[in-house]
């Protein structure tokens, strides 16, 4: 013998009559707390109701939504937990998984190499910005090396020169063969020419460097 008691009015399914014992929600409400919790309103900016300021509305398939919190490794997320990231915090890079294997979007934030502050992968040469006083060698992506006192990059890269690229950011590159000295890589970065060449200065207000 069993008696069927009503769920809380916010639930469409439940394991008990309390507010936080919903397993599915009535109307447009979304579930907060995993497979069981309270039902709250999803507000216009993709967040859950103001009662849960850190919570985000996630689609979990079949027009069902849940309300959860992004993992600390994520800068933004499509699902809760460490496999729900859509964007990573500095010092991490996004590794997307095949969503056909999973019932929801999956993205894991993995750590960059210790020399990087931003990266596209975990390897030494996959930095896009550098930690501390290190400078980027290899254009917009490469390894992070030390700028030594004479304006050169670390002895590993004897031909490379430290360039300022604005906003106190530096990169490490190689002077163009036409230059005797340079402030930036490439043929437009010369500040002194080799014999047989003369310097044509460009209006720096037109250029980013």
pLDDT tens-digit series, residues 171-187: 777 788 888 888 777 78
The values of phi and psi at residue 114, to 5°, are -60, -20
Average pLDDT over residues 109-124: 92
Using DSSP, state whether 20 is helix, strand or coil. helix
How far apart CA 111 and CA 118 sit, in angstroms, is 9
Residue 206, pLDDT above cutoff 50: no
Residue 17, pLDDT above cutoff 90: yes
How far apart CA 125 and CA 49 sit, in angstroms, is 43
pLDDT for residue 55: 72
Name the residue among 194, 208, 148 with its Cα closest to residue 172: 148
pLDDT for residue 107: 84
Q: Select the highest-mean-pLDDT range: 6-15, 65-74, 148-157.
A: 6-15
Tokens 């037109």 — which residue?
A: 206
Name the residue among 46, 45, 27, 29 with its Cα closest to residue 37: 29
Residue 166, pLDDT above cutoff 60: no
Residue 50, pLDDT above cutoff 80: no
For the chain, the 3-state helix, strand and coil shares in percent, each to the nearest 5, are 5, 40, 55
Average pLDDT over residues 39-64: 67
């Amino acid at each position: 013998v069993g008696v069927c008691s009503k769920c809380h009015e916010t639930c469409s399914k439940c394991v008990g009559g309390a507010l936080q014992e919903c397993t599915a929600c009535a109307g447009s409400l979304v579930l907060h707390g995993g497979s069981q919790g309270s039902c709250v309103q999803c507000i216009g900016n993709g967040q859950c109701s103001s009662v849960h300021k850190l919570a985000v509305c996630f689609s979990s398939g079949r027009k069902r939504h849940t309300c959860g919190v992004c993992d600390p490794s994520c800068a933004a997320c499509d699902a809760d937990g460490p496999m729900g990231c859509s964007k990573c915090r500095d010092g991490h890079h996004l590794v997307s998984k095949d969503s056909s294997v999973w019932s929801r979007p999956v993205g894991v934030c993995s750590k960059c190499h210790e020399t990087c502050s931003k990266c596209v992968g975990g390897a030494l040469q996959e930095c896009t910005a550098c930690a501390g006083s290190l400078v980027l060698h290899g254009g917009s992506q490469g390894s992070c090396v030390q700028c030594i006192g004479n304006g050169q990059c670390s002895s590993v890269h004897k031909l490379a020169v430290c360039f300022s690229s604005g906003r106190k950011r530096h990169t490490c590159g190689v002077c163009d063969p036409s230059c005797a000295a340079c402030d930036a890589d490439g043929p437009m970065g010369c500040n002194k020419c080799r014999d047989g060449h003369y310097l044509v200065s460009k209006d720096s207000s037109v250029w980013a460097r």
